[in-house]
Amino acid sequence: MRRALSETYGWKKHVFEIKKTVDGVERESISHEIDHVKKFAKGTFALEIEWNNKDPFYDRDLENFKRLHADGVVSIGGIITRGESLQKGMESLFVTFAKKRGVNSLDKLNRFYTPTPRQKQIIAKSAKSRGSFEKGWAHAFVSDKFGEATTHWRKLEDRVRRGVGNPCPLLLIGIPIGFVSV
């Protein structure tokens, strides 16, 4: 998605630099890097994709949109993230992935990545308690990589309801589970 937005559709990374000058002397300079920016005849759209960062990144993004909107350089801010159904269904997606590809042991998992010793212990314990390697690995992997403290719809929605980013107009997109295939 990032590559297509940038290379195919022209949504390029952009650094906005705002300088405060008093009586000809620069007093302050702040920059905001936005991953995808597109300028249109009627305004500028700033877009971030937060797929799996720590959730405080939402605060940064929304506050950047607010400042840039107040300074008149961004007309609308957007965030694309994991939707509620995708967040809830991550474990089942990884179980399906493991079953389709015959990932039923650590040796077979090594085709895709090599877990750390700590992760191997967690996977073994989880596989035992869940009754299969596939279910144990999926649970351990999702808990470790896509947990509650990462960027997903509910975390974004909480911030927006509190007014973070206000008054910048926002377009928020939560990718649902139906858009993901394994």
pLDDT per residue as tens digits for the range 66-79: 999 999 999 999 99
Read off the tokens for 141. 């992997």
Q: Which residue has the tokens 């509190």?
A: 162
Q: Let me know whether 25 and 68 are in one domain.
A: yes
- Tens digits of residue pLDDT in 75-115: 999 999 999 999 999 999 999 999 999 999 999 999 999 99
Give 50's pLDDT tier (boundaries 50, 70, 90): very high
Number of domains in the chain: 2
User: Does 94 lie in the same domain as 65?
Assistant: no
pTM of the model: 0.90
Do 24 and 79 lie in a common domain? yes
Range of the domain at 66: 2-83+152-179
Select from 176, 15, 180, 21 the least CA-distant residue to 85: 176
Residues 32 and 117 occupy one common structural domain: no
Q: Are strands 25-40 and 76-82 parallel, antiparallel or unpaired?
A: unpaired
Percent of the residues in the chain that have a pLDDT greater than 90, as a whole number: 95
Residues 116 and 138 reside in one and the same domain: yes
Question: What distance in Å separates the CA atoms of residue 178 and residue 61, rounded to the nearest whole number?
Answer: 26
Q: What is the CATH number of the domain that holds 53?
A: 3.40.91.20
Residues 32 and 79 placed together within one structural domain of the fold: yes
